């Protein structure tokens, strides 16, 4: 499973992406918990429900089941202008 980070989320994680090889999260909710443990600063953003998730390049808005081959992208809110 590959997790990709965008914009200021990269500043929090100090990386653009990472691979989870074993014990991958089985859902978006499990992924949030996993990432909160690695990057505690993300917790407040998860609680505020401001981050967006895409699985295999498609935005998701529900607690989707995840597979080991999935690519998950995490985005901050998009602002226009």
Question: What is the set of domains in the chain, with CATH numbers?
Answer: 2-75 (3.10.20.30)
Decide if pLDDT at 21 tops 70: yes
Decide if pLDDT at 79 tops 70: no
SS3 65: strand
Angle at CA of residue 47, ends 61 and 16, nearest 5°: 70
Cβ 28 vs Cβ 63: under 8 Å? yes
Measured between alpha carbons, how far is 3 from 77 in angstroms, rounded to an integer?
A: 17
Residue-wise pLDDT tens digits, 50-66: 899 999 999 998 888 99
Decide if pLDDT at 81 tops 80: no
Q: Look up residue 40 and give its two tokens.
A: 């505690």
Measured between alpha carbons, how far is 80 from 68 in angstroms, rounded to an integer?
A: 34
pLDDT at 78: 75
């Amino acid at each position: 499973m590959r997790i990709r980070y965008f914009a200021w989320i990269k500043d929090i994680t100090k990386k653009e992406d990472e691979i989870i090889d074993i014990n991958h999260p089985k859902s978006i909710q499990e992924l949030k918990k996993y990432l909160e443990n690695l990057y505690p600063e993300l917790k407040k953003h998860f609680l505020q429900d401001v981050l967006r998730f895409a699985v295999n390049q498609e935005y998701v808005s529900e607690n989707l089941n995840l597979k080991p081959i999935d690519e998950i992208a995490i985005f901050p809110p998009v602002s226009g202008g």
